[in-house]
Structure 1
Amino acid sequence: MSATVDYPDGAEGAAPRCPEAFHYWQARQRPWVRRAERLLRTLTGAELFPTDEQARALCRDMFSGDPVAERFVAEVLHGDIGRDHGRRMLDTALSAGIGEVPDAPEAMRALFAEFETVPDWVRPELVERGAAVWRRWGTMLFSFAGAETLEMYTESAVATPLSLAGGYAGDSALRRFLETCRFWMDVSRPGALLTTGSPGRATALKVRIMHVSVRAGVARHPEWDTERWGLPISQTYQLLTLIAGSTVPGLGLWALGYQTTPAEFRALLHFQKYLGYLLGVRLAWHPETVADTLRVMAMTMVARAHDSGAHGAELIESYPAAFAPRAEQRGPARLRARYNYRINSAYAALFMLPTTRRRYRMPPAFPWVLLPIARIPLVTAVELLRRVPPVGRLHEQLMLWHRENWYREQMQGREAEFEATGALRR
């Protein structure tokens, strides 16, 4: 950080460690930001940003990873045991428990001791209620999350790891997005996160290990600049992903008729916090309320550097294009692909800032953007009816069936692997 920045009171007289491209402390000095802070404080009594202590913790956590899982990957998957045998040991431990792997090395036992311990703060009923919100949103969660993520691909800290790994770019974009959908589906099934041996818990740990492999590969790549961007897939950016699955869709989908209640918001935050725990998220400060998460998002938005360049453009432009009909598709499959392409192009237009969207070559959204708007009365009616318990149970079963059917049609017989070798495409 530059020593010329006038850090706020409480910064303990020294520049907090923060990635050079995360311009939060500089942004706090901009006149329009100061005016926005004063206006919000005057009108509501609330603060626009986290406290300086919380902000410093979030900045420091941009340099933090997942030591327990990193040790497992280094000593087991990349060590003398070998990747294939290590994966078999992992699968056995996930399905039957670590006790069924008598030759498990200490690094693996340490990982499972942490993974299988349910923290005292976990409230199972809130975890289940939060997961039920995801189930109720159905495939709309997929569309919203895919579109909202495009906004952060403008940042090299986010775009460079994804671009180097290659999964979300070019022809691989749809496959990797569908793997992410599989993750969302697995972890939100009834009882998924709290049932030992469940596919949801297995998927969470596999994604955690995949993050470690990608992090290690990107961190040692010559294109990565740790001082500029922090650690790849850092603790703080994982927190932003959790917020993108709770507060952000909860608020954004209100505009389309989905009526998430305050109690459901609290449950979503708790569900996401425990999901984060299973994914290895260990923050120095974790937001506990919707207001806290909005302050973190405000902090992130003003800090943006818009520095991802061609890498970000490839990721952003690959997303809607991934749904376009493929040459081998015919008949109903081709019509379905055309619909998915057009509707996801429309969602990208709805949930990206116009100033961001104009910078990239995005497919036209009109008139398809009118379709989700036209559905608002129907969605609102369903949201009201599902509060009647029998209707709510039937609606949940319908959403479970629909998202599974949608996923199978898209995957065409393939299965999600959640595998990363650390090998990068360049």
Structure 2
Amino acid sequence: MSADVTSPALPTRYRSATEWSERFAKPMLALAGRGARMRGEELADLESALLRRDELAADLVRAVREEHAVTMPQFRAALADGVEPDAPAALTRFFAALEARPDWVDDELLERGGAAARRIGKDGFDILAFGSLLGGYRSGGALQPLVRTGRIGEMTLQRVGETGQWWLACTSPGGMQRDGEGWKLSVHVRAMHGFVNYQLERDPSWDAEFRGVPINAHDQAGTIGSFSTSYLLQARSLGIRIPAADADAIMHLWSYVGWLMGVEERWLPRTERIGRRVLGNVIAGFSAPEESSKLLGAGLIGMHDHAPGISPLRRRYERERSLSMATYLNLGYGMKDVGQPARLPWYPAYRVVSNVLWSHVVGRLPGGTGLLDRRAERALGRMERLQYAGSRPPIAPVPA
């Protein structure tokens, strides 16, 4: 049964900074249109999601940590090659649930969505970093799992690189098939989240009364929304043309990715309007920025300070470029939430002019889509060489 709106069982961070969170949520709710505000049972279910963990992953973790029925080598082998007939029951249940793909999943839409997302090119990675990630850091309520697992400071470039690898894998041709790298990395992340929850929920210092479940269904719905719904809105704000059919396919792709990673089906962003509505209501419940917001924000803006082989001048340029893009994507006032100075949108202005020319003019010409695809792949390659000297960082392992 869903918790009542006034139930003391809800984490106290929920709507603890109403004036601030309503300002944050207002643009997204306005774009969602009439009936955007959730009420009654629907709102109560979203609120109580702060208290719900991914039980499928939790069962697997208990089988590893408490029952010692599953080993990590067995998990890794099943992830890579499939479950053996004599595998432990808990491992079989976990993968059987994930391999039972929902009927609504359409392979053609997955492929189209991946291609359309990659076509956005390097701008897409700026949106992920300074729109999706930095925008999420503006509220401190969900940040403690990141802080407590040490994924900050000099580790920021590594963490962003891991997120980028996952994104590239999910959007690559065939990436979301069972043997695709996107499918495997999404399941890897789901299991890792299960281990983080297991550890933090048993940590005496975890403030469950304020924060709820560490990685919970409410925050997961917001995260998948930031990778899909707000991603498309911010791409358009940079002058990128995204045809309606491509936008629908991108939402379809991230709905499946979200389902695979444990987002509750009710909150999946199946369409842009649904995504805007869910994300707007999630944001309306956000708590205020915390010290962790500033800590993570500083790490993200300064991530190129730790990139190998970059000159001091280039590092300074990348920092200023990052601040300019972040200011634009977070509507200026959002920079205060993460403790970073606002900058004039000189870099977004350049990107808008370039993107209007390429996506609205060149992209409409015969062969234009293929040209945009090749241009985007080259840009992604240059970005990788800049940030990692051509060597992608390894994905963080699932805790043993």
The bucket for the TM-score relative to the shorter chain is: 0.7 to 0.9
Q: 1:346 to 1:222 in 2, by over 3 A?
A: farther
Q: Does 1:94 align with 2:79?
A: yes
Match of 2:165 among 182, 191, 194: 182
Structure 2 CA distance, aligned partners of 1:358 and 1:277?
33
1:129 corresponds in structure 2 to 112
* 1:219-243 Cα distance to aligned partner (Å, 9 max, x none): 2223422232221121121111111
Q: Does 1:107 align with 2:90?
A: yes
Structure 2 CA distance, aligned partners of 1:276 and 1:389?
35
Offset at 1:259?
1.7
Structure 1 CA distance, aligned partners of 2:13 and 2:39?
20
Q: 1:214 to 1:407 in 2, by over 3 A?
A: farther
Offset at 1:80?
3.2
Offset at 1:276?
0.8
Q: 1:370 to 1:60 in 2, by over 3 A?
A: same
1:21 corresponds in structure 2 to 13
Contact persistence 1:49–1:296 (CA under 8 A): no
2:300 corresponds in structure 1 to 319
Structure 2 CA distance, aligned partners of 1:399 and 1:40?
32
Q: 1:12 to 1:79 in 2, by over 3 A?
A: closer
TM norm structure 2: 0.86
Offset at 1:13?
9.1
Moved more, 177-186 or 357-366: 357-366
- When Rg is computed on C-alpha atoms for both structures, the one with the higher figure is 1
Offset at 1:279?
0.9
Contact persistence 2:110–2:252 (CA under 8 A): yes
**Alignment map for 1:4-403 (pairs within 5 Å):** 15=7, 18-23=10-15, 27=18, 46-76=34-64, 80=68, 86-98=71-83, 101-148=84-131, 149-167=133-151, 169-193=152-176, 195-306=177-288, 308-324=289-305, 329=309, 336-358=314-336, 360-362=338-340, 365-366=343-344, 369-384=345-360, 385-388=362-365, 390-403=367-380
* 1:273-308 Cα distance to aligned partner (Å, 9 max, x none): 1001111222445454322322233323333321x5
Structure 2 CA distance, aligned partners of 1:201 and 1:381?
35
Number of matched residues? 392
- State percent identity of aligned pairs: 25
Q: 1:16 to 1:222 in 2, by over 3 A?
A: closer
Q: 1:60 to 1:378 in 2, by over 3 A?
A: same
Contact persistence 1:128–1:190 (CA under 8 A): yes
Offset at 1:258?
0.8
Q: Which structure 2 residue ranges, 5 or more long, are not aligned?
A: none
Structure 2 CA distance, aligned partners of 1:185 and 1:40?
31
Contact persistence 2:304–2:387 (CA under 8 A): no
Q: Which structure 1 residue ranges, 5 or more long, are not aligned?
A: 1-9
Offset at 1:320?
0.8
Offset at 1:245?
1.2
TM norm structure 1: 0.81
Q: 1:285 to 1:134 in 2, by over 3 A?
A: closer
Offset at 1:175?
0.7
